[in-house]
């Protein structure tokens, strides 16, 4: 199910990213250093009172050389387009500014709920300062302090109260949802069209949710698929649409809804920084991943070309070593017919459950082959492992001292698990817990 979306807007320096980080909390990042995904955080996941949501910091959407007022105007428009609930943040230290008034004026146009939060209210004596903010005409201001974590609970209570009613699952569990992600011009739209041309489309252009994604359902060999098209959605005339950060945001939103992500590269151009960022996000979100090299028709090839490409990709996406790579052409349709099968296989890996007995045999064999690390005369002891989740497959290993599980040893265990079972195309997670 698509999660409700909260967007944060406001002029620079009021504390948007501080509050975003508070709400998102600490998330373990495996690929941070490699992909730089979590460093510019514009989109993440949060939870309050058991309700999960996505959250966008529009302040992180860099709109290039636009003048300041134009930037915050566009950020507010993105919030109005993308969010279910908008949190408008101002600063109690500076009081109401003309930039705040500008943002408020834009937000009047939306029918979506807007909550006004006055940040930097660091102590109770300052609470009376917030009354000035009634003048913005957005109802009761919520006094908060991002740096001290005050007032956020009331604000989030109000935000979740405005979430749309729980919607039905969009598609049934058996349907595999996938999206094509990649930079402009790699050929996403062409692939979408070619796939639709190739497969028996049963329902097309379901104008999906309020988020106007275009979903196309089709069936191949008895398996139902839904293709989530990001390339096809064009909000004509919107200035921000062509900016890189916005396209990254859109990609992240599509990834969130997908079971399997097709990371599309252009054979003519190779890999770029933006590819890594989006792929890193898909990896951290635990999605199935397939690397699709498109425009394979357009390059000069000899018997080493594919190998050279593969090396290059493996080098640049080391954490995606599990992702299958396929070389296709939307133009000539080369190998396109293999796509549904590969997607299905990756989806099966995502849902694979390993019996504990079998899993523990594999772990114990691994330990016998390569003994656990020691530290100051003490040795890491592994007692027991069990799979606790699918999508992505997640394992808990119970040990004597969790901090002795080094990254390299965990990587070794992951590789042994991968050798023993077919987790092709899916990240797997290993958590270490102390056995009480
Ligand atoms: P953004 O530009 O709106 O994302 O603002 P930032 O989150 O980067 O914060 C701007 C500055 O305000 C930083 O120096 C923060 O440390 C500071 N700040 C954020 N929240 C609070 C708060 O609740 N109280 C005080 N006193 N300072 C804050
Ligand atoms: P998108 O921006 O990722 O959706 O890319 P498009 O599907 O719009 O394609 C961008 C350009 O690449 C268009 O001119 C396409 O005709 C071309 N293109 C797409 N796929 C292929 C392919 O497999 N081979 C060749 N030679 N050109 C392609």
Q: What is the ipTM of this complex?
A: 0.84
Fold of 356-434: GMP Synthetase; Chain A, domain 3 (3.30.300)
Residue 205: the pLDDT is 42
Binding site for GTP, by residue number, is 10-17, 57-61, 119-122, 182-189, 229-233, 294-297
Task: Return the ligand 1 atom nearest residue 93 CA.
Answer: 26
CA 9 to mean position of chain CA atoms: 20
Residue 204: the pLDDT is 40
Report residues of the chain scoring pLDDT below 70: 1, 26-40, 166-169, 198-213, 230-237, 239
What is the H or E stretch that residue 216 is in?
strand 214-220
Tokens of 433: 């817990």
Q: What count of Cα atoms within 13 Å lies in the side-chain half-sphere of residue 72?
A: 23
How do residues 352-379 score in pLDDT, each as one tens digit?
999 999 999 999 999 999 999 999 999 9
Residue 193: the pLDDT is 84
C-beta pairs of 304-308 under 8 Å, 24+ apart in sequence: none
Which ligand does the CA of 292 lie closest to? Answer: 2
Residue 248: the pLDDT is 81
Task: Return the ligand 1 atom nearest residue 150 CA.
Answer: 23
Residue 235: the pLDDT is 52
The answer to whether the CB of 169 falls within 8 A of the CB of 157 is no
For residue 370, report the distance from its CA to the centre of ligand 1, in Å: 49
Residue 408: the pLDDT is 92
Residue 199: the pLDDT is 58
Q: What are the boundaries of each domain within the chain?
A: 5-161, 176-350, 356-434
Asked whether the domain spanning 176-350 has the same topology as the one spanning 5-161, the reply is: yes
Residue 171: the pLDDT is 81
Write down the CATH number for the domain with range 176-350: 3.40.50.300
Residue 185: the pLDDT is 85
Our mutation pick for probing the ligand 2 site, out of 179, 187, 293, 328, counting the most ligand atoms within 8 A of Cβ, is 187
Residue 212: the pLDDT is 45
Binding site, by residue number, is 10-17, 57-61, 119-122, 182-189, 229-233, 294-297
Q: Is the domain covering 5-161 a CATH 1.10.10.10 domain? A: no
Residue 216: the pLDDT is 83
Our mutation pick for probing the ligand 1 site, out of 7, 9, 11, 13, counting the most ligand atoms within 8 A of Cβ, is 13
């Amino acid at each position: 199910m698509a999660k409700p979306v909260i967007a944060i807007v406001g002029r620079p320096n009021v504390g948007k990213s501080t509050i975003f980080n508070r709400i998102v909390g600490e998330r373990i990042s495996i690929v941070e250093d490699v992909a730089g995904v979590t460093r510019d955080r514009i989109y993440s996941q949060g939870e309050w009172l058991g309700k999960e949501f996505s959250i966008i910091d529009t302040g992180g959407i860099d709109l290039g050389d636009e003048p300041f007022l134009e930037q915050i105007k566009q950020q507010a428009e993105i919030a109005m387009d993308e969010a279910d609930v908008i949190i408008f943040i101002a600063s109690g230290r500076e009081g109401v500014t003309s930039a705040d008034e500008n943002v408020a004026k834009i937000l009047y146009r939306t029918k979506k709920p807007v909550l006004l939060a006055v940040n930097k209210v660091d102590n109770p004596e300052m609470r009376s300062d917030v009354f000035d903010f009634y003048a913005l005409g957005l109802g009761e201001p919520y006094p908060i302090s991002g740096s001290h974590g005050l007032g956020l609970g009331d604000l989030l209570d109000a935000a979740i109260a405005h979430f749309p009613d729980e919607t039905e699952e969009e598609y049934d569990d058996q349907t595999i949802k996938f999206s094509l992600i990649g930079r402009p011009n790699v050929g996403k739209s062409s692939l979408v069209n070619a796939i639709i041309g190739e497969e028996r489309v049963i329902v097309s252009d379901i104008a999906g949710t309020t988020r106007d994604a275009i979903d196309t359902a089709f069936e191949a060999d008895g398996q139902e698929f839904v293709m989530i098209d990001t390339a096809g959605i064009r909000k004509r005339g919107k200035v921000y649409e062509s900016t890189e950060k916005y396209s990254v945001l859109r990609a992240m939103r599509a990834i969130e809804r997908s079971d399997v992500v097709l990371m599309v590269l252009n054979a003519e151009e190779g890999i770029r920084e933006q590819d890594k960022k989006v792929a890193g996000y898909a990896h951290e979100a635990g999605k199935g991943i397939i690397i699709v090299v498109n425009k394979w028709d357009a390059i000069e090839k000899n018997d080493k070309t594919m190998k050279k490409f593969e090396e290059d990709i493996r080098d640049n996406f080391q954490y995606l070593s599990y992702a299958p790579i396929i070389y296709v052409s939307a133009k000539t349709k080369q190998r396109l017919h293999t796509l549904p099968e590969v997607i299905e296989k990756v989806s099966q890996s995502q849902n694979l459950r390993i019996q504990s007995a079998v899993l523990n045999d594999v772990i114990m064999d691994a330990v016998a082959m390569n003994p656990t690390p020691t530290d100051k005369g003490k040795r890491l002891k592994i007692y027991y492992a069990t799979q606790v989740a699918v999508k992505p497959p997640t394992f808990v290993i119970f040990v004597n001292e969790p901090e002795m599980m080094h990254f390299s040893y965990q990587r070794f265990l992951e590789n042994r698990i991968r050798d023993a079972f077919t987790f092709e195309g899916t990240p797997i997670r290993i958590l270490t817990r102390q056995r009480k």
